[in-house]
Structures are given as structure tokens and as C-alpha cells.
Amino acid sequence: MVEGAKPYWALRNDLFPEDGLVILGDRIVVPVALRNKALGKIHKAHLGIEKAKAKARQSLYWPAITNDIVTMIQACRICERHRPLNRKEPLIPHEVPKYPFQKVSIDIMELGMTNYLILEDNLSKWLDIKKLNSKSSSSVISALRQTFAIHGIPEVIYGDNNPLNSQECHAYARDIGSQIITSSPEYPRSDGLAEKGVHIAKQLLKKCFDAKVNYLDALLEYNNTPLSGMNVCPSQILMSRTCRTAVPMLQRNLEPKVVNVHAELKRKQGQTKRQHDLHAKVRSQVYQPGSPVAIRRGKKWEKGTVVRKHSAPRSYIVRTLDGRILRRNTFHLQPSKTRPDSHDTPMDVEGCMESVLNTNPVMTETHTETFVPTEPNEGEALDHDEDGLGQDQPGLDPQLATSHQNPSQSALTGRTTRAGRRVKPPMKYGYDE
């Protein structure tokens, strides 16, 4: 048999010559030499794999045409760049706290030229909003101090890299015996429930701003209004009493009453998880260091390489083509089979190093570019996303707060303040497995 004719043997009774072409049913059989050109035509509009297959079924045929179409589209950088978002993954809820103010979540909100620190107690859902002088770490710490002075020091403080992933904030947390846990940039979804409180506070602030109502009055009402689906309000869970507000209330209902909502909250959390997971998809993809990936940045998928796994679940440290080191949740990663095209930024290590040298090692006020010290000799620029969705930095390991107390690290040189407090040099942030 002629070389290359074998795949056609089974079809020999359906093949017909017509106008100098070989026809299979309604489809033109494309010779090897013309297949690449045909693929280019099929994919000219950059439609997806299914559309391309359907188009081919309409008019063209060669053995393994479907495979060739799949391979071509998987390698198409244009299609990859504009791929839709991944489907969300099942929730990994934080464990419901055992007591009030064991765990809190914080966030910063900017409204009408003023910055606010929003804090939620993860058990009682009690909210605190404090005006900040600036977005600086010291301003955030001072606000936290005021709240902790009343309700105690939480074991864990959850929040975004900004403001929490600064040396100052970590030093403060170590000092008070607390642990900071940051979420992946652009993906603050590890606990849907914790996120909700911050969202509620933001809504409340916006509405008060519009209605010219003092937000503190509104905050008091919120904290003393029953939580949805429950018969208790945040203040009652936190302080075992409902506070007196502008809304009249019988005196006996203002007397202290202890409530324990742990079981109820656990049940609610399970409910939220089940609901969320109905539309979620488990991604089993594991990325090895060095493997090529597409990274979601803004509204597009950029090209990059996996540096290593981050200690947080579903979190990786990746390097973009222009040398940026980012932390990304698997929600914002996809395996990549494409080659960079002319729209991809070429590697620019020199420019990248320059920005490292010119950037303050702690959180900057302007949010334009932030450098977080990594390992010695591994200075790399870490900047934030162009569209301001989140801070692109390697987050700090949840374990890091404790690892800092490890005596093996005391070998690091440091200095002592006049008050006698030991100040360590920039720590290696992030990255440790």
C-alpha cells in the first residue's frame, strides 16, 4: 500500500473523486501539504475548540483532524490570552472560632479622600470601622491597637497583603503574640463568610456617606441588629449583651445574657459551603517548578513560569515574562502550551532589578510598587496589578509568624533600640514551604 494511504483503507468505499478533489461524504479530503493552511483558515476567527471541530466537520477531512485542531488551539496564544476565568473551586472555610476575637479579618477602604480600617470578628461578625490618617502600616497598627485594647488580642488576623504584609505589621503581630495570614492577591475567597463582613461594612460606609449619616451611629445599629437567619446580634455574641441604641428597647432586653453560637455558625458555614460548591469545580492540577503557565492579570492571561508552591493551599509563586514574582491562587492559573507572541512583554531583568533598588522595602503609601524582601540574593520586583485589583506580592506564609520565633534565626544580625527591644534586619518574606 502507498505510504500514508493506510488510514484511508477503512474509508475506501466512501471516497470519491470530484473536480480533481477527493471527497468523503460532504467533506474535502485535505492532503498533508495543505493541512497547516487549512488549520489556519479554520481558526482564523479564533473560535473555540468545539466550534473549530464543527466547522471542520462541515467541509474538511483528514485522519486525526480533530487532534490537530485541539493541538493547534491549545497552542494559540491569542485564544489563551483571552480565555474566560477558571471556574471557582470548593470553599476551604476557616474553622469557626471557639471564642469572640479569636480570629479577625481586616481590610482598608478608601472613600471620599479618607481611608478606613474595617475589622470583623470572625465569630460574632461584630464590625469595627476606624478612620485612618493614612494607609501606612503605623496608622493601621495604631487603629488595631485601639480595638484590641477593648476586646483583646486575636490569635489570627486575616487580611490582604496590603496592608498586612509589611515588616512593621509582622513585627507588631509577633510582639503581641498574634499571627497574620494573608490571602492570594485577587483571590480573597478562602473564607466566604469572613469576606462578607468586610463587604457589609463597605456598603454601610458608602450609604452613610451618601445619606450624610455618621457612620458610627450606623455601625452601632448594625452591631446590635440580629444576624440574618439568627436570633442574636453581633454585640450579644461578643459582649453577651445588646447595647442600647437610638431605637428604644425594653430595659430587660438590655441586661446581660450569654449566648453560644459556635454550633449554629458551624451549621451555617456548612450550608454556605454546600451552596457555593454546587457550582464549583475541584482542580486537581499540580504545577511543578519550572512548568509554563498562563497567569490571570487584570482581564487577560499572561505567560509565566511556576517558581514554586506557596505554603497556602492552592497557592503558587509564579514568575511573569517580565520578571515579576507574583503569588497566585490556582483560580488564576492554567497550564500553558503556547509560545509568547509579539504582545507578550519580553524578559527585562535589568529594568526589574532597577525598580527593586529604587523601591522602599516596606509597604509604600502610593500603592504603585511594593517590594517585599525575599531571600538574600533574590531581589525581585513585586508590583501590584495594573487595574488595581490586588497587590501582587508573595504573601507571607501562615507559619512564618511562628518561624520567626525560631531560635535558629537569631543568628541574623540586628540592632537593639534604646528601649532595649531587638530589631531584626529585613526578614525573608514568603516562599518558605
Q: How far is the CB of 341 from Zn ion (least distance, A)?
A: 11
Q: Closest CB to Zn ion among 81 and 241?
A: 81
The least distance separating Zn ion from the CB of residue 293, rounded to whole angstroms, comes to 18
User: Which CB sits closer to Zn ion, 78 or 85?
Assistant: 78
Q: Among 78, 249, 286, 423, which residue sits at the site for Zn ion (rule: CB under 5 A)?
A: 78
Residue 202: closest CA among 105, 297, 276, 298 = 105
Site residues (CB under 5 A) for Zn ion, limited to 292-321: none
Q: Which is nearer to Zn ion, 78 or 249 (CB)?
A: 78
Compute the least distance from the CB of residue 37 to Zn ion, in Å: 16
State which residue, 79 or 317, has the beta carbon closest to Zn ion.
79
Residue 75 binds Zn ion (CB under 5 A): no
Which residue, 69 or 127, is less far from Zn ion as judged by CB? 69
Minimal CA–CA distance to 322: which of 375, 392, 395? 392
| Grid cell for residue 255 | 441586661
Q: Which stretch binds Zn ion (CB under 5 A): 24-32, 76-84, 141-149, 178-186?
A: 76-84
Residues 45-64 touching Zn ion, rule: CB under 5 A, are 46
Given the rule CB under 5 A, which of 78-86, 204-212, 261-269, 387-395 is the region that contacts Zn ion?
78-86
Q: Which is nearer to Zn ion, 31 or 335 (CB)?
A: 335
Sign of the Cα torsion 393, 399, 401, 404 reads: negative
Smallest separation (angstroms) from Zn ion to the CB of 99: 54
Minimum distance, C-beta of residue 43 to Zn ion, in the bound complex (Å) = 5
User: Which residues 177-196 are close enough to bind Zn ion by CB under 5 A?
Assistant: none
Among 10, 66, 4, smallest CA distance to 33 is for 4
Contacting range for Zn ion; rule: CB under 5 A; set: 15-23, 74-82, 154-162, 274-282: 74-82
**Cβ distance 102 to 155 under 8 Å?**
yes
Q: Which of residues 119-158 bind Zn ion (CB under 5 A)?
A: none
Residue 64: CB minimum distance to Zn ion, A:
20
Instruction: List phi, psi (to 5°) of 187.
Output: -140, 65
- Binder to Zn ion among 30, 38, 56, 79 (CB under 5 A)? 79
Kindly tell me which of 76 and 201 has the beta carbon lying closer to Zn ion: 76
Burial of 345-357, coded b for 16+ CB within 10 Å and e otherwise, reads eeeeeeebeebbe
Binding mask 18-47 for Zn ion (x = CB under 5 A): ----------------------------x-
- Taking the complex as a whole, the smallest distance from the CB of residue 78 to Zn ion amounts, in Å, to 4
The closest alpha carbon to 174, from 202, 210, 133, 141, belongs to: 141
Query: Looking at beta carbons only, is 46 or 300 nearer to Zn ion?
Result: 46
Where does this chain touch Zn ion (CB under 5 A) — which range of 21-29, 69-77, 151-159, 228-236?
69-77
**8 Å CB contact between 402 and 179:** yes
**Sole binder of Zn ion in the list 38, 39, 76, 91 (CB under 5 A):** 76
CB-wise, 46 or 199, nearer to Zn ion? 46
Contact positions with Zn ion (CB under 5 A) in 352-371: none
**Distance of closest approach, residue 32 Cβ to Zn ion, in angstroms:** 22
- Please count the residues of this chain forming the interface with Zn ion, following the rule CB under 5 A: 4
Inter-axis angle of helices 262-277 and 192-211, nearest 10:
90
Q: Is the Cβ of residue 76 or residue 312 nearer to Zn ion in the bound state?
A: 76
Contact segment (CB under 5 A) with Zn ion among 52-60, 73-81, 232-240, 349-357 equals 73-81
Could you tell me the sign of the dihedral formed by the alpha carbons of 145, 150, 156, 162, in that order?
negative
Stretch that binds Zn ion, among 72-80, 148-156, 322-330, 360-368 (CB under 5 A): 72-80
Cβ nearer to Zn ion, comparing 78 with 176 = 78
Residues that bind Zn ion (CB under 5 A): 46, 76, 78-79
